[in-house]
């Protein structure tokens, strides 16, 4: 091939989505030259044992990049032969489906053997397999600092941890419905419907709600009650176990603690379902799970509203 010829990089099948890699071929090459000209011979042995011989006579002056030119020539001549050995999937012929696939594909990235999906916030979420998604739901729902949230809140928690799979909303709802602790300790509301009269708070820690829960099953430390308080603005919560409810204990609690909302006791019951005598030791875990779970009224976690950043969870 003359040196002044330009190489074309316009190769066919640029829109192929998936190509199955077949076993490697074998190539045997040899060449000869004399004063009248030069020639080259190539023999290909396919993965199926088929032998493909080729020979060429080189009658014109060649450049020094012989290997590069020969690779391009042989590759283009063998394209028709290799097509029948490759199984390919192209975009569907339906224009609407083709447009939809191209639009969805822009949100995914394949990096170092791992598939990621870009969220609306610009964060890349790692796509999980079936086994990995079950482990993620179990850890986020009932693992260390798990809050036994409802399905939508469980979905939000896993997504904030940086994970994604296509059916995660439905799977999280189904997982919460199958949780035995959630079914046993679910709220049963028997009161008739009534108009709500919300308490308005203008800023964090502006107004608080206090409640005493108990008596409960006596713990190994002798505690019978839980004293809880809730900030109406951020829903920040603090709880403390009490052996007895006295004005001195309540006054000391108000001076030194700030608590969240009324739902903490029911959350605590789910956490200590297996052992009912260690609930005073599990309050901290239940409280951490509550602080790092998104609340429906604020659409954010209490931790983020108080400190301005999200907490790093054990699963992360």
- List the CATH number of the domain containing 119: 1.10.340.70
Answer yes or no: do 301 and 225 share one domain. yes
Is 92 domain-assigned? no
For the chain (316 residues), the mean pLDDT of every run of 10, in chain order, is 59 58 78 75 82 75 60 62 49 75 77 80 80 82 71 79 83 82 69 65 67 79 81 77 78 64 41 56 70 77 81 64
We report the CATH number of the domain holding residue 257 as 3.30.420.10
Judge whether 192 lies within some domain: no
3-state secondary structure of 184: helix
Is residue 193, in this structure, part of any structural domain at all? no
Whether 179 and 225 map to the same domain: the answer is no
Co-location of 246 and 288 in the same domain: yes
Whether 144 and 177 map to the same domain: the answer is yes
Residue 162 belongs to domain spanning: 107-184
- For the chain, the domain total comes to 3
- Is position 10 within any domain? no
Among the candidates 137, 168, 184, a domain finishes at: 184
Do 294 and 212 belong to one domain? yes
Ordered alpha helix ranges (H), the chain:
66-77, 79-83, 95-105, 130-142, 151-161, 168-178, 180-184, 247-256, 264-271, 279-291, 302-307
> Phi then psi for 199, rounded to 5 degrees?
-95, 120
Nearest to 104 by CA among 88, 118, 93, 114: 118
**DSSP annotation of 218:** P
228 bridge partner residues: 211, 239
**Sequence-distant contacts of 126-130: CB under 8 A, at least 24 apart:** 126/162, 126/163, 126/164, 127/163, 127/164, 127/165, 128/163, 128/164, 128/165
> Do residues 221 and 276 both lie within one domain?
yes
Whole-model pTM: value is: 0.37
Which residue from 226, 257, 256, 219 is spatially nearest to 241, judged by alpha carbons? 226
Task: Look at residues 168, 184, 200 and tell me which one is the last residue of a structural domain.
Answer: 184
∠ at Cα 81 (79, 84), nearest 5°?
Answer: 105
Q: What burial class does residue 235 get, using C-beta atoms within 10 Å of its C-beta: 0-12 exposed, 13-18 middle, 19+ buried?
A: buried
Q: Please state, in angstroms and rounded to a whole number, the distance separating the CA atoms of residues 224 and 245.
A: 9
Evaluate whether residue 5 is within a structural domain. Answer: no
Do 179 and 146 fall into the same domain? yes
User: Which of 197, 205, 269 has the alpha carbon at shortest distance from 235?
Assistant: 205
Please report the pLDDT score of residue 266 as a whole number: 38
Query: Beta-carbon neighbour count of residue 231 at 10 Å?
Result: 24
- Domain assignment present for 142: yes
Q: In Å, what is the CA distance from 187 to each residue of 232, 263, 266?
A: 21, 10, 8
The string over 171-204, giving b where at least 16 C-beta atoms fall within 10 Å of a residue's C-beta and e elsewhere, is: bbeebbeebebbeebeeeeeeeeeeeeeeeeeee
Residue 191 lies inside a defined structural domain of this protein: no
For residue 161, the tally of other CB atoms under 10 A from its CB is 18
255: phi then psi, degrees, rounded to nearest 5: -75, -30
Residue 279 CB neighbours (<10 A): 24
Helices (H) and strands (E) in the chain, counts: 11, 12
Between CA 268 and CA 286 the distance in angstroms is 6
Q: Are residue 116 and residue 174 in the same domain, yes or no?
A: yes
- Say whether 101 sits in a helix, a strand or coil: helix
């Amino acid at each position: 091939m003359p040196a002044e010829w330009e190489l074309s990089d316009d190769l066919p099948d640029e829109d192929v989505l998936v190509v199955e890699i077949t076993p490697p071929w074998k190539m045997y090459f040899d060449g000869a030259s004399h004063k009248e000209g030069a020639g080259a011979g190539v023999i290909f042995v396919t993965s199926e044992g088929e032998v493909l011989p080729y020979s060429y006579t080189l009658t014109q002056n060649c450049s020094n990049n012989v290997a590069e030119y020969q690779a391009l020539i042989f590759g283009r001549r063998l394209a028709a032969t290799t097509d029948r050995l490759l199984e390919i999937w192209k975009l569907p012929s339906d224009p609407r489906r083709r447009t939809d696939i191209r639009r969805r594909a822009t949100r995914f990235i394949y990096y170092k053997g791992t598939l990621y999906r870009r969220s609306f916030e610009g964060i890349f979420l790692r796509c999980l397999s079936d086994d990995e998604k079950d482990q993620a739901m179990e850890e986020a729902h009932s693992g260390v600092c798990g809050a036994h949230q409802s399905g939508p809140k469980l979905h939000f928690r896993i997504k904030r941890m940086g994970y994604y799979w296509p059916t995660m909303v439905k799977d999280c709802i189904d997982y919460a419905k199958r949780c035995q602790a959630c079914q046993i300790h679910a709220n049963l509301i028997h009161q008739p419907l009534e108009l709500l009269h919300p308490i308005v708070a203008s800023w964090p820690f502006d107004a608080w709600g206090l409640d005493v829960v108990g008596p409960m099953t006596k713990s190994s430390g002798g505690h019978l009650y839980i004293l809880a308080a809730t900030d109406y603005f951020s829903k920040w919560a603090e709880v403390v176990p009490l052996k007895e409810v006295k004005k001195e204990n309540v006054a000391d609690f108000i001076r030194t603690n700030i608590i969240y909302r009324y739902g903490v006791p029911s959350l605590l019951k789910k956490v200590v379902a297996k052992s009912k005598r260690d609930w005073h030791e599990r309050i901290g875990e239940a409280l951490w799970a509550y602080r790092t779970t998104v609340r429906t009224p604020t659409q954010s976690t209490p931790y983020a509203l108080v400190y301005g950043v999200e907490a790093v969870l054990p699963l992360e």
